[in-house]
Amino acid sequence: MKHHKCAITNKKDVIDDCYIKLEFGYGSKRDMETYSFGPVRDKTAEKVLQYIGTLLKKNKTLDELKAGMRNTPGADLSKLAEIRLLEERMMQLDRKINGDASIKKREFETPPSLNDRFGGTVWNSWYSTSAPTAMQKENLEIVKQAVPIIKQELESIEAEVDGLKEYLYSVGGPFIDGDME
């Protein structure tokens, strides 16, 4: 069995053909760009899927929480302000990871996002046989330092969402999708 290095982690235990491909359509911030990473370790691909799922679930859960608070008689409507703050924190995380799309669309220069830094580093080293450049190393270090902070913020948001869900359930509100499984 042939073993390859993981394109993301550089570990040598890639045993299957597992690839990650991101395609951006017309009008998106990365108009018609495609990023392909591979081969990658199964575990790395699973982590990417879990992360994307976390973001999708959090936004859906916040929408369901808002609806539940609004539609539950006797629910404290000031909790809607707490949910709005959580939405703003999620948007700030998105801007850290992906940059400010609004400013980019208006052709203003923006600092590179974490996604720009990571994607650019992988892209620039794709067919290179030389050692990583100082800029590539710096970009990876910036991403490496940011990931634990982002993870901590996501965990904090998740804890606050759990507290809001407990409150909603305590006043007789509807269960959020996935909580009865």
For the stretch 30-87, pLDDT in tens is 666 776 666 766 676 667 766 666 665 566 788 889 999 999 999 999 999 999 999 9
> Helices 79-98 and 42-71, interaxial angle, to 10°?
150
Query: What Cα–Cα distance (Å) separates residue 112 from each residue in 8, 29, 33, 123, 142?
Result: 19, 13, 16, 15, 11
The pLDDT tens digits for 93-132 are 888 888 887 777 777 888 888 888 888 887 777 777 888 8
Please indicate, yes or no, whether the overall pTM of this predicted structure exceeds 0.85: no
Taking Cα atoms as reference points, which of 119, 121, 140 lies closest to residue 24?
Answer: 119
Pair 164, 82: CB distance under 8 Å: yes
* Torsion over CA: 44, 46, 48, 50 (sign): negative
